[in-house]
Structure 1
Amino acid sequence: MNSTVIINSIRFVLLILAQVAIFSKINFLGYVNPYPYILFILLYPVNSNKNGLLLASFLLGITMDMFNNSGGVHAASCLTLAYLRPSFFKFSFGLSYEYQTVKINERLTPERFSFLLISVLTHHIIFFLLEIFRFSFFWDILLRTILSTIFTLILCILLIYMFKPTKN
């Protein structure tokens, strides 16, 4: 079996366990909920199978829905993020993405930060729109999205650099 498959499988399981055991319990002021499990989608190798990413993203989302009893909002937002991910790469990295030389878990650059920000923001907008599902709560959706995006983004950056592979 390929080492990339093993690393991604371990990452998949560990992020689900961390989300369910730790991060799903955090609900600061009723508005801030971190969702770092989307790191699996963000760190999925650029040159890997796109259909595999869509399937894995759906499984990630539906697993989170089962644990959180949330009726498919995680699956829908994860699947949308996985589908839009190549567009976000092209927007953030340009030619580096075309030549598939992008690695997210290296030094934080403006390109990497913009990719993470756009991805997390998109996931959260879709997630909270589907979760609340009323435009009369527009300001509530916006507040939850912004605060959770900030917290998730900080947490994702910390997790990326805490578990960054060392170079030999």
Structure 2
Amino acid sequence: MARIMFYNIIRFIALITVQVVLFKNIGYYNLATFFPYILIILLLPLGTSNFFVYLLAFATGLAIDAFYDSMGIHTAACVALAWFRIVFIRITLEMDVRQSSDSPSWGGLGSKWYISYVFFGTLIHHLTLFVIEVFSFQNFLMTSLSILLSSLSTFAIILLISLLFYKRKSRLGI
């Protein structure tokens, strides 16, 4: 349990740092932006309590808002992502899998489940983020294009990161 907590703390620090130092300054004409920091919430162990998921999502969003000067937009999007995570896991996984301390992974839960989990989670996060940021229907097409391109680019970065740290599930339980 201490090892899992240590890995999540390291993941939190590393992803926040990479987001602020590298991805804050990368974008494509304000249409496509990268937000791989959402992996902090997506890769929490499956057995994590809902209260802790919401608490960590709030803290993650608050940390990003502090560096982006965005007054709570990322916090709201991270809490929406936490809600999605809880509902998606409850609907799609069996009870014994939900109780485990394993993190959702490509190798552990299969590519179809993992890809849909990451894609829809990214879409929910970006939809919430950009709708709250714009908060009007004046530039609906531009906002929709920004949501789509940012979701796809973040999804691609997350899949790339997942492939770099891919571990196949052992059949022997080792």
Q: Are the aligned partners of 1:105 and 1:161 in contact in 2 as well (CA < 8 Å)?
A: no
Q: How many residues align?
A: 166
TM-score (norm 1): 0.90
- Provide the secondary structure at the position in 2 that maps to 1:136: coil
Read off the aligned partner of 1:64 and give its amino acid letter: I
Gaps in structure 2 of 5+ consecutive residues = none
Please say if residues 46 and 97 of structure 2, whose CA atoms lie closer than 8 Å, have aligned partners that are also in contact: no
| Paired residue secondary structure (2:154) | helix
Percent of aligned pairs with the same amino acid:
29
Match of 1:39 in 2: 39
More moved, 35-44 vs 134-143: 134-143
Q: Is the 8 A contact 1:34 1:151 kept in 2?
A: yes
Question: What are the equivalent positions in structure 2 for 1:14-53 lying under 5 Å apart?
Answer: 14-53=14-53
Paired residue for 1:57? Answer: 57
One-letter code aligned to 1:158: L
Question: In the TM superposition, what is the alpha-carbon distance from 1:41 to its structure 2 partner?
Answer: 0.5
What are structure 1's unaligned runs of at least 5 residues? Answer: none
Q: Distance in 2 between matches of 1:87 and 1:131?
A: 24
1:73 positional shift: 0.3
Does residue 77 in structure 1 map to residue 93 in structure 2? no
Match of 2:154 among 141, 152, 155: 152
TM-score w.r.t. the length of structure 2 is: 0.87
Root-mean-square deviation (Å): 2.0
Q: Distance in 2 between matches of 1:127 and 1:16?
A: 17
CA displacement 1:30-84 (0-9 Å, x = unmatched): 2000100000100001101221111111111011001000110000000111122
